[in-house]
Chains A and B, each alone.
Chain A
Amino acid sequence: MSQATPRKVWSPALASWAARDLMRQPAFTLVLFVALAAVTALAALVLLLQQTLATASTRLLDRAPHVVVRRVGAGGWLPLDAEAARTRAASVVGVLRPRARMWGVVSGPEGAVTLVAVDGRDNIDLPSGWPLPHSGEALVGPGVSGDETPEHISLNGSVSRVLTVTGQLPRSAGSVVHDVVVAHAEDVRALLGLGPGQASDLALDVFHPDEAAALLPELAAAFDWPVQITTRQEQLGRHLAHISRATGMACLGIGPLLLAILSVVVAVGIWGRRSWETGVLRAVGWTGADMLRLHLYRGLLVGLPAMSIGTLIAHLLLFWPGMTWVPQLLFGWSGPPPGFYLSSTGSAGAWLLAMVLVGVPFMAAVFWTGWRAAGADPGDILEGGR
Chain B
Amino acid sequence: MEKSMRRARLLVWIALVMPLVITIFLAADRYVRAGRQDRASLRWMAALDLPSPAFWPAGTFQRHPQFLPPAVDVRMSPLFDWDRDGRLVHPSPR
Contacts and interface: CB of A to CB of B under 8 A. Distances in A.
A20 to B, nearest CB: 4
Nearest to A297: B12
B80 interface: no
Contact of A305 (B7, B18, B48, B53): B18
Nearest to A238: B65
Interface in A205-252: 228, 230, 235, 238-239, 242-243
Given A68-B51, A76-B70, A331-B55, A309 B46 contact: no
Interface size class of B (residues with CB under 8 A): 35 or more
Contacts of A77: 66-67, 69
Interface string B30-46: 10011101101111111
Nearest to B51: A103
Interface size class of A (residues with CB under 8 A): 35 or more
A20 B33 CA distance: 40
Interface string A319-344: 10100000100011111001001111
A54 B44 CA distance: 19
Interface in B1-56: 4-5, 7-9, 11-12, 14-16, 18-19, 22-23, 25-27, 29-30, 33-35, 37-38, 40-56
Interface of A: 12, 15-20, 22-23, 53, 56-57, 59-61, 63-65, 68, 70, 72, 74-77, 99, 101, 103, 105, 111-114, 116, 118, 121, 124-127, 141, 169-170, 172-180, 182, 203, 228, 230, 235, 238-239, 242-243, 300-302, 304-305, 307-309, 311-312, 315, 319, 321, 327, 331-335, 338, 341-345, 347-348, 351
6 contacts: A19-B15, A242-B65, A308-B18, A321-B37, A332-B57, A348-B30
